[in-house]
A and B are shown apart, each in its own frame.
Chain A
């Protein structure tokens, strides 16, 4: 074992595509005001790496532990920041605040076969194969990063399947803050 596990929550990051086929990537619109995460943090922000759900009208919002997770945000469509120079300025959207208008489109991976690298609160070999929920946290507006993790210690869930430990022996091992490989369980595709 190299470095001990350190808490570095960065949300869900694509690790393996589906076999040798590229993961299915789709776009989803968002709206303002955005739906709040169910059972999660009150923030309405959405960042790359966040899991998202779809509201009744089909708009994406950051998923909480009680939502049906449909995908993982891997980006936003390229458009100018609407709050800078009336949407014609030099700064592009790389993070969605709860009030960003016009709300940009989310680019997401919605594929039950895709695998993601995510930090767990804790992970043991015996917990591999289990189904768990995410642990929601407000995204970081400074770094424009997700702070979501998975809640393994909290018991069985319905959102993600644990495939294994991220095989990075120099900086990852079973135990607290282990990074796990997970798959979506409730994406629309796959």
Chain B
């Protein structure tokens, strides 16, 4: 592995450079923590296990026996922690002769990249949410989630997407709120309460979302009738969502199981290689993330 040498940055070996502009940008605030349940881990992996309870009660007349039921085991969901690392080296001569100490920016810069890596990868759970299969064998956002007591993929299925993919509007926003009201638990016969907390949109939909969630009058009507769903959720822009038309809705954190585990906090350490006289700064972190239950998040993918 080669380090950075003087020839690549000749300008930095003369006096007169006022500013290295690349290092002056403001960093975005962390975002994914708003959408994920974040936890730490002390193991090689974390595992969740799904199971479901009994069905509805049965009518039992006089002198008849009480029927029995049972809990049904479900699926395991495993989070294998993955390590992410990077290192940057400067030659001894670079540090000895350089007029601007850019080598001191390595820690800060790698911290920036570390945070961005987390953001991009976590957002990919949603960006690929209509394609990549999760624990139940279908994508995170799917009309065909099987239920533990639902008889499998040919039995009772449940959706967390709009029946017809729809661009963000007052109507589709309300359709999604309705969808969230009608979900069953894994028995397929017991409704669950989901309190929808946030409308999550890519940057391109920021103002459409604000108009829907914050307007006193319905923005899609000429006479601006009352917007009865005003303030039903917050509106959150997630800068790392890639598709300009896909939008999402999430429940309170306590009501969804989108999880992120931090196994090793981002850390930087330096090292000097005497054989080549290279000064290295490296960073590392380890984390995992995923979905233990699709219920609590909804989405639509209009074209």
Contacts and interface: CB of A to CB of B under 8 A. Distances in A.
Interface in B132-146: 137, 146
Contacts of A94: 73
B154 A169 contact: no
A142 B65 contact: no
Interface string B45-86: 000000000011111100001011110111100000000000
Contact of B65 (A14, A20, A117): A20
B137 A142 contact: yes
Contacts of B146: 143
Contacts of B74: 143
B122 interface: no
B57 A168 contact: yes
Contacts of A16: 65, 67-68
A170 B189 contact: yes
A16 B58 CA distance: 12
Given A15-B68, A20-B65, A170-B189, A7 B73 contact: no
A27 B72 CA distance: 21
Interface centre among B57, B74, B148, B150 (most CB of A within 10 A): B150
A55 B69 CA distance: 30
Given A15-B67, A16-B68, A168 B56 contact: yes
Interface in A153-190: 166-171
A2 B72 CA distance: 23
Interface residues of B, number: 29
A147 B152 contact: yes
A69 B151 CA distance: 22
Interface residues of A, number: 29
Interface in A71-112: 94
Contacts of B55: 168, 171
B58 A145 contact: no
Given A143-B148, A144-B73, A171-B189, A7 B58 contact: no
A123 B73 CA distance: 28
A168 B155 contact: no
B156 interface: yes
B149 interface: yes
Given A6-B156, A8-B188, A13-B70, A167 B59 contact: yes
Nearest to A14: B68
Contacts of A169: 59
A167 B60 contact: yes
Given A94-B73, A166-B58, A169-B59, A140 B152 contact: yes
Nearest to B76: A91
Given A145-B72, A167-B59, 9 more contacts: A6-B188, A7-B154, A8-B147, A8-B156, A9-B152, A16-B68, A117-B67, A140-B153, A171-B189
13 contacts: A6-B155, A7-B151, A8-B149, A9-B151, A9-B152, A15-B67, A20-B65, A140-B153, A142-B152, A143-B74, A145-B72, A166-B67, A167-B67
List the 6 closest pairs (A to B, CB-CB), nearest first: A8-B151, A170-B56, A140-B152, A9-B151, A167-B59, A171-B189
Interface of B: 55-60, 65, 67-70, 72-75, 137, 146-156, 188-189
